[in-house]
Amino acid sequence: MLNRTSTFTLFTLLSCFVFLPKHGNTQENGEGKSGKVESSYLKEVEQLAKTKPLQAAFQSILDQTQRNRNELIMLTEIPAPPFMETKRGERFASMLKEAGADSVWTDKEGNVLALRKGKKRTRTVAFDAHLDTVFPLETKIKVSNNADTLFAPGIADNTRGLVLLLSVVRALEEAKVETEADVLFVGSVGEEGLGDLRGTKFLFTDQSRRIDSWIAIDGGETGTLINMGLGSFRYRVTFRGPGGHSWGAFGLANPQHALGSAIHYFSKAADKFTRSGARTSYNVGRIGGGTSVNSIAFESWMEVDMRSEIPENLNMVDSLLKASIQQALVEHNAMKRMGPALTVEIKKIGDRPSGELPESLPLIQRAMAATTYFGVSPRLTRGSTNSNVPISKGIPAITLGQGGKTGNNHALNEWWYDEKDSYKAIQLALLTLVSEAGLAK
């Protein structure tokens, strides 16, 4: 999700799609640009919005304003720490049933799924919000408010997204909107941090259902549309050796020295590579190991994060890291005067795929046209959200904002401001969804 401190940081994105320099641990500078909407899509979406079923659905959303706020408070107070989304998932599943979905179930990964059958049933459009938050189980979660601003960890990212989904299901049901394609509502697990998009990755490897289009709700204000996925890899690298006394065992291969060499070779090579071409970054974020100044360490470790706008560059930095580690390992094993050789373990702890979808894609055109219909200029941008997974596979996908205003995402004082017209973000999402799924005649 995403988080914004001021309009000046409009296009500064974080992992899980965050904007916030202060608290986010994965901030990056993304770019944003005004999207160009073709007039045929503007016309198509405007005509759709004016149909009776859509007008009735919009009214239903407006009528749900107080209910949505109550449900936001209720769902926020059910903790959903990484890898522990079950309790919130169960509640969300029963709410989806109550909202009128045809069938609701939980898959092997823990994703809560609800199907709303279409008339033609030849395609499936998924509509997603993630269940998890970044907050550990012991975090005290009690919603407080100051007028229309609600405060609580996770209230914006992404509980508001879940509430938006429920509101859309209810509106479709109440207004009896029938779509051509099946709509699969998804409360996904593991979007944040070490969850590493596991819920969405599972959905796109599960062979039992093909998803043709993906719309994720995870973000800030209306008008920000993510059609580009910022990819990242994360590693924990550990050099190991026997370790011993700095004087008595002198001559043993030294893991700390090897790690230092690996960082040296990697930073030299990666610096050279990333000076031109698509924006690419690398960072050794943490290092550790060793027991005392006069001991040869038995292990030395580092955690490395690398990101790129394009998969080719991410793979290149990845191979530079691995080559540097090998070079250091060989060199330091050759230098040892006694004892066993060093070993190295390279453990991948994060893998978010990257990619970009062209703005000419019908889904992206429709989302931009719907945004324009609500009087907001669409801006296309890059982020790290569940949409990374379908985007990397070339499957139409977009991440839309949740409405209202948010701040301090991923921090204990996270807030969500219920603007007077925050219901419009729900109407916009519904319009995009029905436009992509097709209104059945």
Which residues lie near Zn ion (CB under 5 A)? Answer: 1, 16, 157-158, 218
| Residues 403 and 423: beta-carbon distance below 8 Å | yes
Q: Which of 180, 139, 61, 70 is nearest to 435 (CA)?
A: 180
Give the nearest distance from C-beta 80 to Zn ion in angstroms. Answer: 11
CB of 397 to Zn ion, least distance (A): 15
Q: Which is nearer to Zn ion, 218 or 414 (CB)?
A: 218
Nearest-CA neighbor of 205 among 127, 107, 301, 131? 107
CB of 213 or CB of 409, closer to Zn ion: 409
Between 213 and 386, name the residue whose CB sits nearer to Zn ion. Answer: 386
Residue placing its CB nearer to Zn ion in the complex, 16 or 171? 16
Write out the two tokens for 426: 């729900």
CB 17, min distance to Zn ion, A: 6
Cis ω on the peptide bond leading into residue 158 (within 30° of 0)?
Answer: yes
Alpha-carbon distance of 389 to 404, in angstroms, equals: 26
- The nearer residue to Zn ion, 83 or 250, going by C-beta atoms, is 83
With respect to Zn ion, which residue has the nearer C-beta, 157 or 182?
157
Least distance (Å) between residue 5 CB and Zn ion: 16
Residue least distant from Zn ion (Cβ) = 1
3-state secondary structure of 52: helix
**Which residue reads 């601003």 in tokens?**
149
Q: Which is nearer to Zn ion, 32 or 241 (CB)?
A: 32
**Shortest distance (Å) from residue 16 CB to Zn ion:** 4
Helix (H, G, I), strand (E, B) or coil at 118: coil
Token reading at 14: 């974080």
Integer Cα distance of 369 and 36 in angstroms:
9
User: Tokens 């985007």 — which residue?
Assistant: 391
How deeply is 69 buried, as exposed, middle or buried, from its count of CB atoms within 10 A (0-12, 13-18, 19+)? middle
Please say which residue, 298 or 417, places its beta carbon nearer to Zn ion: 417
DSSP letter for each residue of 294-335: TEE-SEEEEEEEEEESSHHHHHHHHHHHHHHHHHHHHHHHHH
Six-digit token string for 219:
């973000």
Decide whether 110 or 244 has the Cβ nearer to Zn ion: 110
Nearer to Zn ion, 158 or 372 (CB): 158
Give me the least distance between CB of 305 and Zn ion, in Å please.
18
- What minimum distance in Å lies between the beta carbon of 429 and Zn ion? 15
Structure token pair of residue 363: 């889904």
User: Whole-number minimum distance, CB 139 to Zn ion, in Å?
Assistant: 16
Report the phi/psi class of residue 174: left, alpha or beta, with left for phi > 0 and alpha for psi in -120 to 50: alpha
Sequence-ordered list of residues with C-beta below 8 angstroms from that of 71, at least 6 positions apart, any chain:
95, 163, 166
Minimum distance from CB of 416 to Zn ion (Å)? 12
CB proximity list for 431: less than 8 A, separation 6 or greater: 45, 48, 49, 54, 370, 373
Comparing CB distances to Zn ion, the nearer of 38 and 109 is 109
- Residue 268's identity, in one-letter code, is K
Q: Show Cβ contacts of residue 436 under 8 Å, excluding neighbours closer than 6 positions.
A: 125, 181, 213, 215, 362, 363, 366, 396
> Residue 199 CB, nearest distance to Zn ion (Å)?
12
Contact by Cβ (8 Å): 412, 157 = no
Smallest separation, CB 218 to Zn ion (Å): 4
